[in-house]
């Protein structure tokens, strides 16, 4: 399915002022209630015909996502810091402290499963979603 407007069923009840950074949360919740597994692809991503099957590469109860090297001067630093805060990683953890060979995942391409991920996604409405 392609969601290209607020008229789509997946967008019903979503606050219009919800940051674009967080709009994938209600979309994923909507589709995981209807399908066992879902692939989310940002609108700026192209998947070529020779690409491997992302569903086949991702075990059923795992999160499939693209890993990227952390770029300290780039905007990804915000994602790394937010992830460290979200998962309560100690500040001295190698990937949270700024040292080491850090990897983050790019949420522009993800494969999720209903059983493993829907319980977590269903909580977004009760959270105050802010960018840090």
- Report which of 99, 120, 96 is spatially closest to residue 110, judged by C-alpha positions: 120
pLDDT at 36: 95
C-alpha span between 122 and 124 (Å, rounded): 6
Of 42, 98, 93, which is closest to residue 70 (Cα–Cα)? 98
DSSP 58: S
Question: What is the pLDDT at residue 31?
Answer: 92
pLDDT (tens place) for every residue of the chain, 132 residues total: 777 777 888 888 777 777 777 788 888 889 999 999 999 988 888 889 999 998 999 998 888 887 766 555 554 555 555 556 655 555 545 445 555 556 667 788 889 999 998 888 877 777 776 665
Q: Is 40 left (phi over 0), alpha (psi -120 to 50) or beta?
A: beta
Give the separation between CA 48 and CA 90, rounded to whole angstroms.
Answer: 39
| 34: region left, alpha or beta (phi > 0 left; psi from -120 to 50 alpha) | alpha
Q: What pLDDT does 94 receive?
A: 47
Nearest residue to 118 (alpha-carbon basis) of 51, 50, 61, 43: 61
Three-class SS of residue 22? helix
Contact between 64 and 28 (Cβ < 8 Å): no
Quick one: pLDDT at residue 113? 93
């Amino acid at each position: 399915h392609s969601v290209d407007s607020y008229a789509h069923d997946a967008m019903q009840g979503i606050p219009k002022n919800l940051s674009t950074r967080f709009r994938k949360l209600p979309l994923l919740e909507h589709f995981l209630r209807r399908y066992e597994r879902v692939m989310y692809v940002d609108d700026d991503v192209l998947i070529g015909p020779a690409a491997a099957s992302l569903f086949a590469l991702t075990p059923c109860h795992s999160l499939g996502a693209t890993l990227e090297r952390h770029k300290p001067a780039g905007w990804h630093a915000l994602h790394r810091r937010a992830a460290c805060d979200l998962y309560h990683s100690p500040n001295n953890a190698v990937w949270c402290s700024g040292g080491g060979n850090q990897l983050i995942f790019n949420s522009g391409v993800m494969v999720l499963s209903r059983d493993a991920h829907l319980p977590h996604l269903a909580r977004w409405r009760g959270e105050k979603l802010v960018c840090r």
